[in-house]
Amino acid sequence: MQAIAFWLIYPLLWTLSKLPFKVLYFISDMVYILIYHMIGYRKKTVRYNLITAFPDKSSQELKQIEKKFYHHLCDLFIEMIKTLSITKEQLTTRMTYTNIDVIQDYEAKGKSGIVMLGHYASYEWSFAIQLHVKNTGHGIYKKIKNPYFDNLVKRIRGRWNTVLVANKYASRLMAKNIEEGIVSMYGFVADQSPRLAKSHYWTQFLGHELPFFTGVERISKELDMPIVYLKVRKTKRGHYEGTFIELAKNPKEIPDYKITDAFAKILDAQIREAPAYYLWTHKRFKLLGRKQESAGKDKTT
């Protein structure tokens, strides 16, 4: 069934990917009407998230953010499809970097590092970093259940010298590459909400104390890998600009959890600048108010 589903959908996706951007964004506008006004895709979740994150905003302000978010979400979906056949010239024009020299300097010094980012603006096109460096990059991701679509995503990223690595194998591969002298940058989209049993560290985010994964910080300390934050800004429809901000040049010298705190703080500030471009369909507040329960589980496990 998984193969049938893939081969039914893939030809349509490929055909769509060959269309000009103007046509694709017209389709995006039609999809917006469908999922927002007719289906109401995850509208309750989005509204709860926005009200919880911005209690001081008026209902009219929240409505404007909500509509703008759904427009952006549809554009993201269309841009993901376009990635199937996007050219190098198109990608470098639409995903630019203000200070790519930060990454190039690490590469020139033979130093591997970690790039952290959130589900903000175009996290999908962040792999365009590889068009400006020589070494193979690695994107850490959660494996897709359908193996056919999983292989497709790997193949797409492979076009631009990026290898996807399932999150459960990431630290092992990174340690192995360091031992073998392989230089690379490793990308982590690190703002997901952990399950209660794995909520060992909580910090301030969007006005509330929420749990964060600390695995990236732990790996950076164990392997002595510097961490940079990739701040992606949407400049106009279909165009994004990335800026690298160094979070930790020498992670072993930084007290525990301070890197995670810094990541949460900088992402929080970015979201507040332009809230419509964050991925509000995720249940980021699902563990709100359950810190004590988490602490109790830690004592019994």
Amino acid 297: pLDDT: 62
Instruction: Please state, in angstroms and rounded to a whole number, the distance separating the CA atoms of residues 267 and 264.
Output: 5
pLDDT of amino acid 294: 77
- pLDDT exceeds 90 at position 149: no
- Tell me: pLDDT of 155 over 60: yes
Helices (H) and strands (E) in the chain, counts: 11, 9
Top pLDDT among 4 and 53 is at 53
**Enclosing domain of residue 139:** 88-300
**Tens of pLDDT along 106-139?**
999 999 999 999 999 998 899 999 999 999 999 9
Paired residues of 248 in beta bridges? 227
User: So what's the pLDDT on residue 121?
Assistant: 96
3-state DSSP assignment of residue 278:
strand
Global pTM value: 0.93
Residue 2 domain-assigned?
A: no
Indicate the number of domains in the chain. Answer: 1
Tell whether 253 is covered by a domain. Answer: yes
b/e code 48-73 from CB counts within 10 Å (16+ = b): bbbeebbeeeeeeebeebbeebbbbb
Position 18 pLDDT exceeds 50: yes
Tokens 């560290």 -> residue: 201
Asked, for residue 285, whether it belongs to a domain, the answer is yes
C-alpha dihedral sign at 177, 179, 182, 187: positive
Structure tokens at 163: 């290898």
pLDDT value of residue 298: 58
271-299 confidence digits (pLDDT tens): 999 999 999 999 999 999 888 887 666 55
Question: Using an 8 Å Cβ cutoff, are 212 and 205 in contact?
Answer: yes
Does some domain include residue 106?
A: yes
Query: Residue 262: pLDDT band by 50, 70, 90 thresholds?
Result: very high
Residue 41 is assigned to a structural domain of this protein: no
- Inform me whether the pLDDT recorded for 88 exceeds 60: yes
* Confidence class for position 4, pLDDT limits 50, 70, 90: confident
pLDDT tens, position by position, 162-217: 999 999 999 999 999 999 999 999 999 999 999 998 899 999 999 999 999 999 99
In angstroms, the Cα distances linking 162 to 67, 248, 285 are 34, 23, 32
Write the CA distances from 129 to 18, 86, 95, 252, 292, integer angstroms: 23, 15, 9, 26, 41
Is pLDDT of 301 > 60? Answer: no
Asked if residue 282 is part of any domain, the answer here is yes
Q: Is 77 among the domain residues?
A: no
CA–CA separation, 2 and 138 (whole Å): 26
Predicted pLDDT of residue 300: 46
Residue 245 in any domain: the answer is yes
Query: pLDDT tens digit string along 21-77?
Result: 999 999 999 999 999 999 999 999 999 999 999 999 999 999 999 999 999 999 999
